[in-house]
């Protein structure tokens, strides 16, 4: 009986002075979560460089350099888009170190978001501005370097070779569906179509149906964008 009384007294004394058990065995309290906006939560995820949230994340973790190529900007399709407006859209989306190159819709920036999130954020803002969908083809710096290195027309003048950038690999029947081909040379890449206009583009009537889903840049522009992305 005396021993049982001492055990009860010891237990009572332990409770009166707080729980001194090892932290691993203490009950964990759920952290306080305020009602914050979705953007605030995403910003918190962007700054978290350790482990992505369970179920995946829209963020890649480390900052990536992206090159966004807009379709039909200042060429009569989507219409004119001032590059200052494009930079403002990118900055509004949270992209950093935003720079544009010439007026054909080329923008270089950095983001911790994954490519799918970057593309969606930019296309959403472009659609709101233009009143209709505006396509964006996205490449990371290394992908753009690989595309330039893979172009097969190495002896041609760089202003007579264009790279048509696609979201997906070119269809298997791309070459078979060409129309009005004369001296133009066409080759397929990973997610690109390469075209060498021997006599220049001005008099060419070449039709590439698979190119409708992409956007074209000549080799000079591609090389310049690679240089900007490396800065």
Contact in structure between 81 and 135 (CB atoms under 8 Å): no
pLDDT at residue 142, as a whole number: 96
In this prediction, residue 79 carries a pLDDT of 59
Q: How confident is the model at residue 45, as a pLDDT?
A: 40
Please return the burial class of 154, using the count of CB atoms within 10 Å of its CB with bins 0-12, 13-18 and 19+: exposed
pLDDT of residue 212: 95
pTM over 0.75: no
Domain 58-141: homologous superfamily in CATH: SP0830-like domains (3.30.70.1280)
pLDDT score of 159: 96
What CATH number should be reported for the domain whose range is 143-230? 3.30.70
Check residue 49 and give its pLDDT. 33
Check residue 94 and give its pLDDT.
96
Closest CA to 111 of 58, 168, 184: 58
Q: Where are the domains of the chain?
A: 58-141, 143-230
- Residue 73: its pLDDT value, please? 73
Q: Whole-angstrom Cα distance, residue 226 to residue 86?
A: 19
Low-confidence ranges of the chain (pLDDT < 50): 1-5, 7-56, 75-78
Residue reference for tokens 């840049």: 217
User: If phi over 0 gives left and psi between -120 and 50 gives alpha, with beta otherwise, what is residue 153?
Assistant: beta
């Amino acid at each position: 009986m005396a021993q049982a009384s001492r055990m009860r007294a010891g237990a009572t004394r332990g409770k009166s002075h707080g729980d001194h058990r090892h932290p691993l065995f203490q009950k964990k309290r759920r952290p306080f979560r305020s009602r914050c906006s979705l953007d605030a939560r995403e910003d918190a995820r962007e700054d978290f460089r350790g482990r992505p949230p369970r179920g995946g994340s829209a963020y890649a973790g480390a900052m990536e350099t992206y090159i966004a190529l807009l379709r039909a900007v200042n060429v009569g399709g989507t219409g004119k888009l001032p590059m200052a407006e494009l930079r403002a859209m990118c900055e509004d989306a949270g992209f950093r170190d935003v720079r544009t190159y010439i007026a054909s819709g080329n923008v270089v920036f950095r983001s911790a978001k994954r490519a799918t999130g970057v593309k969606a954020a930019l296309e959403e803002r472009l659609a709101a501005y233009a009143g209709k969908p505006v396509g964006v083809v996205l490449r990371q710096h290394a992908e753009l370097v690989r595309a330039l290195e893979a172009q097969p027309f190495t002896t041609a003048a760089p202003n007579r070779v264009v790279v048509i950038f696609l979201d997906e690999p070119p269809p298997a029947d791309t070459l078979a569906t060409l129309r009005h081909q004369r001296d133009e040379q066409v080759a397929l890449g990973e997610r690109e179509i390469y075209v060498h206009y021997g006599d220049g583009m001005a008099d060419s009537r070449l039709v590439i149906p698979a190119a409708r889903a992409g956007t074209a840049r000549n080799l000079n522009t591609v090389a310049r964008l690679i240089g900007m992305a490396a800065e």
